[in-house]
Structure 1
Amino acid sequence: MASALYLVSGIRGMERGTLSEQRGEDGTETLSSMELLRLAIPRRVYTLSQLKYAIDRIHWLYENRSLIGGLSFYEEPKVLRFFFGKLKPVSDWQQRLVAKFKEDFGDSL
């Protein structure tokens, strides 16, 4: 979700969920009970129009959520994998998402 939001808006967020968990000793994935995207909004820094922009892009992304695919590690360190690891898309979902965005918004980014 974090990479999809960045692609369609330039807004950076931080994943908080399974990706942030360490694997078990036997290499199994520890699934999180919730998958969240953290967006930090400092007080008195952003204008109302900037917040409306974020809301608009998040709403668009929700309406097009079926286009969002997954990512998998191609470099996964033993510790802090969410911070130091490297991910790659599991399909061409990023290209399809950007194509749909351009279809709906043109070159508005």
Structure 2
Amino acid sequence: MHDVIDQDILSDKIREKMTSLDINQTQLSKMAGISPAALSQILSKERTASSVVLVKLANALGVSVDYLLGKTPEADFLDVIRYGKAKELISSFSSLTAKDQSRIFEMIELLKKT
């Protein structure tokens, strides 16, 4: 038996993540490797996303497919690490010297104050 995708939830979750990431539909479609028209149809609930497209959208947004489908209440830290830019950031950060890592933390603290 196949679960039916709740298109309202899917559309809402995608829009929420787009807002939190400050990206538009064109940017997300490029990030996910899908056409802008397909994304527009998914967001307007005119089209049901395939499992392949769901995975592409989840990866681009840094969340799990379960999050997009409303099966988990929020995108947790592990989702971000697995699917998002955080994985790349952590890898890059880990390759820095201790001194450079310290500088990065200082920059983060300065940015948080602005």
* TM-score between both structures, scaled by the size of structure 1: 0.28
The structure richer in helix per residue is: 2
The structure richer in strand per residue is: 1
Rg comparison, structure with higher value: 2
* TM-score between both structures, scaled by the size of structure 2: 0.27
